[in-house]
Amino acid sequence: MGQSESDHIHVASRQCSSGECTVLQPDVPLAVVEEILLNLPEHQVVRVCRLVCCEWKELVDSAAHWRERCRREGIQPCDASRPPEDWRLFYFITKKRRNLLKNPRADDDLQGWEIVENGGDRWAAEENRKPFLDDTVTKCFVTSYGSCLKRQLIDLTKEGYSGAFMDQLQPHIKISDWYAPRHDCGCQYEVCVELLDQRKKTIKSFQPEKVFFQQWNDEPWCQMTHVFKDYGRGVRFIRFTHGGVDTQFWAGHYGIRVTNSSVEICPAAEK
């Protein structure tokens, strides 16, 4: 039978009472205790094991414990010369990291997106005409001769990032978007990403200049990236908006293509 989270492993070298530690004869060497802790789920180690005694708390709070967890699970900084200042925070953010946008590659047509502008022959999803760097990305969203914009609103609390977490730690928020023109038609691309407070008022925004492509181009897929840092307290939502238009007003879907968009909460050690 498995143990519940409230069960304790009966190994201790100190007992804590009234804020003081009393030294006891250890039942098991601390090296063995540490190995046991490394093989338990990380949340149980923090919420339960850390409270057992002072020496267990010291083990769980040590950078060495979380650095070793990262090593065993293949979680490493992108730049080995810039180790994280807080290995525990780095571990948990990396484990939780994922793309917060739904349907970013047009696999489910337009599901998950709110259409803001739907000009010309409207938004559509189609197979990629140009090969993408990642061959698992096979579809894209396509625009038409009238302005086409779509967006998603990410509720950070619903995604598991509490207000206290965002305010105290202010983790980096990395956005990425891929776009490409058709070779035979001029077009325009635009993107705007906003960090919003509880009332959906803008705290920070990223809105670069619109990108224009001429007709008869040989442009590959291009990536637009940005990392929000030191954005202050109060961020509760992220609004991601992108799209564009065919600048020659041809019927059909000759405008900008977009796909593989992402919004991620990242460790600060990442560039």
Shared-domain flag, residues 129 and 193: yes
Shared-domain flag, residues 138 and 219: yes
Length of the chain, in residues:
271
Shared-domain flag, residues 161 and 258: yes
Residues of the chain with pLDDT under 70: 1-27, 268-271
Shared-domain flag, residues 20 and 59: yes
Shared-domain flag, residues 200 and 255: yes
Shared-domain flag, residues 75 and 178: no
251 within domain boundaries: yes
pLDDT value at position 92?
87
104 within domain boundaries: no
Indicate the residue among 65, 96, 127 that finishes a domain: 96
pLDDT value at position 95?
86
Shared-domain flag, residues 84 and 135: no
pLDDT value at position 105?
98
Indicate the residue among 96, 123, 139 that finishes a domain: 96
207 within domain boundaries: yes
Closest CA to 246 of 121, 162, 144: 144
| CATH code at position 162 | 2.60.120.260
Structural domain count, the chain: 2
140 within domain boundaries: yes
Residues spanned by the domain of 47 = 14-96
Report CA-CA distances (Å) from 172 to 97, 175, 200, 263, 265: 11, 10, 19, 10, 6
Shared-domain flag, residues 74 and 129: no
| CATH code at position 62 | 1.20.1280.50
Shared-domain flag, residues 151 and 216: yes
pLDDT value at position 246?
97
pLDDT value at position 46?
87
Shared-domain flag, residues 127 and 252: yes
Shared-domain flag, residues 143 and 259: yes
271 within domain boundaries: no
Shared-domain flag, residues 33 and 122: no
pLDDT value at position 74?
84
Indicate the residue among 96, 129, 148 that finishes a domain: 96
Which two three-digit tokens encode residue 151? 């967006």
Burial of 36 (0-12, 13-18, 19+ CB in 10 A): middle
243 within domain boundaries: yes
254 within domain boundaries: yes
pLDDT value at position 70?
87
167 within domain boundaries: yes
